[in-house]
A and B are shown apart, each in its own frame.
Chain A
């Protein structure tokens, strides 16, 4: 039999044979296994779509009195049909350099990895219109990039495109840690109302509601703490109005100011 050196996945081709009589042709590899009845002296036809898994194949022609073997390759179609796009993380703080990474694997219509170098474009955009774009040439079927999160909180769209295939992921860019926290206090009946100013990150984004702020009161060698979630960017709490008490505030690694309650004078 006369085998092609390589064929494109899914294409039709034929394998000419010589001799007389009937034979069976096997084409076997890890990716696929086929059998065709052959009239020796004619050609075995492999129809379009019959052999679609890229890889290396062993061909065996077994006749009544003889057999023949050979090898050939099936190569991916060069046209991208789908992408495997790994983007991470799905949520991250604003203003992080190279904080978002994307890796794209390029496949043809038969889910073969296309190893021929192709230009892959990555685009990270936010509703305000800011766009980061990169073009990377694929190597061994993949391309990757890293991008910065925006300075302002937003829902970003991360898109990878190779040829006519594209894939998108949504990335939540959320405020980072508080930049600073300041509190003020005023009497509220027999107690003390303590409240933060609006809590923001260092880019001026309001810190996400639900972030825990810890208030601590030190009085007469005793310490009491209250954890309060931010609500509309502010945390507030009523604490005992002990004259001479020192009240401080913190959230995560950021400590705020301390106030000393002197009884309202």
Chain B
């Protein structure tokens, strides 16, 4: 398990070193699977890499209101919902910037046939809504996302992308 985590960490360092301007910090906690198929280190590395890249395409697509930018990393329901949001934003004359600050990832399910993988991401980001160039609001957020990825020809793509409701206060 430790060896597997080291592999993931090393791979992430490589991705980070490859160069994004303001890189979010990324930590990967050991998989906690529902008794399903174990995740090979190579698969985990690829999934984490592709998921983090999906945030880059999400950022650009929602900032520039260009749904085509989603195509490389989103598919199915996730793509449809994000593309609808972009259409709505464009009609309202607004755009949104999601600036990631930190991701804490954990793989929680890998289906026995290898066709889907579920992950949680507690992500910290700043959400900034702009009306053309005027900033309407900027708010720091911390949210837990449930994400389902499926393998495509050359990469894993996000099929379900849904923020979970915050737990009710005690």
Instruction: Name A's B-contacting residues (CB within 8 A).
Output: 5-6, 26, 28-35, 53-56, 58, 60, 62, 67, 69, 71, 73-75, 86, 88-89, 101, 103, 105, 107, 111-113, 115, 139-142, 144, 146
Contact = CB atoms under 8 A, between A and B. Distances in A.
A54 B129 contact: no
Interface string B59-84: 00010000000000000010011101
Interface centre among A86, A111, A142 (most CB of B within 10 A): A142
Nearest to A54: B162
Interface of B: 34, 36, 58, 62, 77, 80-82, 84-85, 88-89, 92, 94, 96, 98, 108-109, 111-113, 115-116, 118, 120, 127, 129, 136-137, 139, 141, 143, 146, 148, 160-166, 168
A75 B166 CA distance: 10
Given A26-B136, A30-B98, A139-B34, A103 B85 contact: no
B66 to A, nearest CB: 15
Interface centre among B89, B146, B165, B168 (most CB of A within 10 A): B165
A27 to B, nearest CB: 10
Given A54-B162, A71-B139, A101 B112 contact: yes
B161 to A, nearest CB: 7
A141 B146 contact: yes
B59 to A, nearest CB: 11
Given A56-B141, A139-B34, A35 B165 contact: no
Given A28-B96, A58-B127, A113 B81 contact: no
Given A28-B129, A60-B136, A71 B113 contact: no
Interface SS, A side:
strand
Interface centre among B141, B160, B162, B163 (most CB of A within 10 A): B162
A115 B164 contact: yes
A6 B167 CA distance: 10
Contacts of A31: 81-82, 85, 162-163
Nearest to A86: B115
14 contacts: A5-B166, A6-B165, A26-B94, A28-B129, A29-B163, A32-B85, A33-B92, A34-B88, A55-B163, A56-B143, A71-B141, A86-B111, A86-B113, A101-B111
A53 B168 CA distance: 20
A140 B111 CA distance: 13
A58 B129 contact: yes
A111 B81 contact: yes
A221 B115 CA distance: 51
B160 A144 contact: no
Contacts of B164: 115
